[in-house]
Amino acid sequence: KAGVTQTPRYLIKTRGQQVTLSCSPISGHRSVSWYQQTPGQGLQFLFEYFSETQRNKGNFPGRFSGRQFSNSRSEMNVSTLELGDSALYLCASSLFGGTGANVLTFGAGSRLTVL
Amino acid sequence: TQLLEQSPQFLSIQEGENLTVYCNSSSVFSSLQWYRQEPGEGPVLLVTVVTGGEVKKLKRLTFQFGDARKDSSLHITAAQPGDTGLYLCASSYNQGGKLIFGQGTELSVKP
């Protein structure tokens, strides 16, 4: 079965611009989580969506937002980009989410560079 | 604030050597997962441990979960160049879909 698909894989933006990243989960998976990965901070949780509702949110400013559609596809948006937003953005899907032993399948990520 | 501490951060060894990576927390884990990430890819789940004292084996990889469920280790026997990658431990601390990751251990196995 197809894995988690993230688009675009690479993108370059300048400070002040905004960006939208897309994630298509594994077919049948209803939970989508987003993570930011940087060399300094490692992998940090952004938010989780389940059945079009945000169920968990990490400690990121309001410039970071997301949504989930009825087909479970998800998008995340970052507005007013800053240099520090340069990172690998990873999307992960799971069947239900919300369990103690949550099994996530990650996509390959979207590499964002902010100049 | 829940924190996962991994050690060592970097490890460079020769093919055939053994190694151990550690993951510790001041809080009790509900469960603990180990992932491996290769350059240009997302993390891939290796194992989930749930019960204190649990030991799981995956070929040359042995995963242990501490009795108190506050620590875990990953031991690789006779490392191979294909084991090269970033090893990450993660736990949800019962917060559903939110995983907290350790900083990772960058492993390089030289032929």
| pLDDT tens figures, A56-82 | 899 999 999 999 999 999 999 999 999
Could you tell me which of A23, A62, A30 has the C-alpha nearest to residue A46?
A62
| Residue-level length of chain A | 115
Number of other CB atoms surrounding residue A97 within 10 Å: 25
d(CA A73, CA A29): 10
Choose between A51 and B21: higher pLDDT: B21
Q: For residue B9, what pLDDT band results from cuts at 50, 70 and 90?
A: very high
| A108–B41 C-beta distance less than 8 A | yes
Among A46-50, A95-99, B17-21, B104-108, the minimum mean pLDDT is found in A95-99
| A101–B94 C-beta distance less than 8 A | no
By C-alpha distance, the chain A residue nearest B29 is A100
From chain A residues 41-80, the ones with a CB under 8 A of any chain B CB are 42-45, 48, 50, 55-56, 58
Q: Is the pLDDT of residue A1 over 70?
A: no
DSSP assignment string, chain A: ----EEE-SEEEE-TT--EEEEEEPPTT--EEEEEEEETTTEEEEEEEEETTEEEEE-S--TTEEEEE-TTS-EEEEE-S--GGG-EEEEEEEESS--STT---EE---EEEEE-
What DSSP character marks residue B47?
E
From chain B residues 18-37, the ones with a CB under 8 A of any chain A CB are 30-31, 33
From chain A residues 73-112, the ones with a CB under 8 A of any chain B CB are 90, 92, 94, 97-109
| A105–B97 C-beta distance less than 8 A | no
Q: For residue A3, what pLDDT band results from cuts at 50, 70 and 90?
A: very high
Segments of B25-80 assigned E as strands = 32-37, 44-49, 55-58, 61-65, 71-76
What does the pLDDT read at residue A14?
A: 98
Q: For residue A33, what pLDDT band results from cuts at 50, 70 and 90?
A: very high
Nearest to A43 among B41, B96, B101 (CB): B101
Q: How many CB pairs under 8 A join A and B?
A: 72
Min Cα–Cα distance to chain B from A37, Å: 10
Nearest to A55 among B44, B50, B96 (CB): B96
